[in-house]
Chain A
Amino acid sequence: MTDASRSISPRPAIPRFERPSAGAFIVWVIVIGLAVWSVGGVGLSPERLARGLPALGGILNRMFPPDLERLPQILWSLLVTFQMAAAGAVLGLILAFPLAALAAEGVSPHPVVRQAARALIALFRTVPDLVWALLFVIAVGLGPPAGVLAIMVDKIGFAGRFFAEAMEETDKGPREALSALGASRIDVLVCAIVPQAMPSFIATSLFSLEKAVRGSVILGLVGAGGVGVELKVAFDLFAYSTAATIIICIFLLVLVVEQGSNWIRRKLI
């Protein structure tokens, strides 16, 4: 045996997979058990899926060719849908900003204010926009105003959270520099925090608009105006070829808004 071979100790076998801890094992069992229980609970079975697929095929078959007879009315409703989304998103973003400033750690004037603002944002975010739409339809009546208010509240919750996180993640150095020279809280927010968080604000705002456009279609189904109302009527009357036209129009609107926001994102960020 040479000196070199004596000095090299046998390499220990490294297991390919780590043995899970007892805690991890229990978590996995719970997660898998929950999934199986949920699928069983909703009655989703292979037989039911097998029966449903031909029916879906039948509906798709009746959708084509799309009926263009109501295209002018559909396009008008689509425009209303876009207006609802844009108005709701813009109002929501405007109101989200001060609420986010009050909710952001290091920006908020007091911990009690911060907690209250965070709770409000959480409430706006966790209640689905469809529920807000139902509430506003009762409050202000059927039509686009209810949709605008529902989108606005939903966007305050959505953008408020991301705006607050963006403010918290800004570099503390510039904030300290301005505080150290005697700048006010507003000066620090406007001059040190907003410029740093601006790329994140823009990305969140554009994503809010995209989300609002997609969401505003659904809101019409509960009477909050826009093209969703047309879609519901078409399905209720089994006018599947008209529904196909509406779905294609919605798809094109969402596509245009997404492409537009991608372009703006590239230009501004």
Chain B
Amino acid sequence: MNALVLNCPGSAVETTIPPLRVRNLAVSFGAKRIFDGIDLDVAEGEAVSLIGGNGSGKSTLLRCIVRLVEPTEGSILIRGQDVLGLRGEGLRRARSGIGFVFQKHNLVPRLSALSNVLHGAQARAKGPGVWFQSLASSQMRDEAMTWLEAVGLLPQALQRVDSLSGGQSQRVAIARMLMQRPKLVLVDEPDASLDPKTGREVMELLHRLAKAKGVPILIVSHRLEHVKSYSDRIIGLASGRVALNVESGLADPASLRSFFEDAVS
């Protein structure tokens, strides 16, 4: 168990802090409340699916964790460190340990797959060596090629990403995330704009790579079969609250479906 263990002074009780701990988190955009009182933990090596209807705040919750959205209140502990108080270099350092795979992959068009993967190293290195593959050191290039190979895109290394298919682009985004060497992975509907077969392949790849490295992963998905197949635990959001928190093996299909029907409606 790699989870951080804190010995509380004056207490005989050991408090184990999981890699991701969210407490009493709230987000409002002006007068519009997105969610509040959100508590959730993701344990070491655990795959957790986040489900809920459209507008329930799943993506916003993920974006809060990397501070792309500022929460109204609450705390987010990444391996024991509260990220909400961080600024500048401290925030950069905290973000560098969190891999984020976006719904629309968010790759840089006009650049090659290899350069896009190389960008993942900006989490730990600075300067021209992590800007473009042509300027990168042999070691960096080799590592980026290794991850492209892991996602099955070695032949497309020098191809521009705007010429790749949706599934291939999502794989490049996964390779970029792996290049980051993350200690926590957040995934926002990677299967949303992909056909069922490609979506399943992408989810399988993510699941396999995360499990192989023992990295905890929090996934937002709108596909019931993916949620059941690729997660250890399922958390459901409804009316701005955590309405479900269950091990995936014990999840009642009917209650899960109600979250997805809500999403469709």
Contact = CB atoms under 8 A, between A and B. Distances in A.
B108 interface: yes
Contacts of B100: 177, 180-181
Interface in A187-207: 187, 190-192, 195-196, 198
B159 to A, nearest CB: 15
Contacts of A190: 131
Interface in B129-161: 130-132
Contacts of A171: 109
A177 B106 contact: yes
B92 A191 contact: no
Interface in A149-188: 171, 173-174, 176-184, 187
Interface in B161-180: 173, 176-177, 180
A176 B68 contact: yes
Interface in A210-247: none
Question: Interface size class for chain B?
Answer: 20 to 34
Contact of A181 (B109, B119, B131): B119
Given A173-B102, A177-B100, A187-B130, A182 B110 contact: no
Given A181-B100, A184-B92, A173 B122 contact: no
B104 A181 contact: no
B265 to A, nearest CB: 27
B126 interface: yes
Given A176-B68, A187-B131, A191-B131, A182 B92 contact: yes
Contacts of B109: 171, 174, 195-196
A184 B96 CA distance: 11
A220 B173 CA distance: 54
Given A187-B131, A191-B131, A182 B102 contact: no
B211 interface: no
A191 B115 CA distance: 9
Nearest to A195: B110
A190 B127 CA distance: 10
B76 to A, nearest CB: 14
Nearest to B123: A182
Nearest to A176: B68
Nearest to A175: B106
B194 interface: no
Contact of A191 (B99, B102, B108, B173): B108
B213 interface: no
A192 B115 CA distance: 11
Given A187-B130, A190-B131, A191-B122, A181 B106 contact: no
Contacts of A179: 68, 95
B96 A173 contact: no
Contacts of A191: 108, 111, 115, 119, 122, 131-132
B42 interface: no
B98 interface: yes
Given A177-B107, A195-B108, A195-B110, A182 B126 contact: no
B108 A182 contact: no
A174 B106 CA distance: 5
Residue of A174, A179, A198 contacting most chain B CB atoms (<10 Å): A174
A182 B130 CA distance: 13
Contact of A173 (B104, B115, B124, B132): B104
Nearest to A187: B122
B68 A180 contact: yes
A230 B183 CA distance: 70
A174 B102 CA distance: 10
Contact of B102 (A177, A187, A192, A198): A177
Interface of A: 171, 173-174, 176-184, 187, 190-192, 195-196, 198
5 A-B pairs closest in CB distance: A182-B96, A177-B106, A173-B106, A182-B95, A183-B122
9 contacts: A174-B108, A176-B68, A181-B95, A181-B176, A182-B122, A183-B119, A184-B122, A187-B122, A187-B130
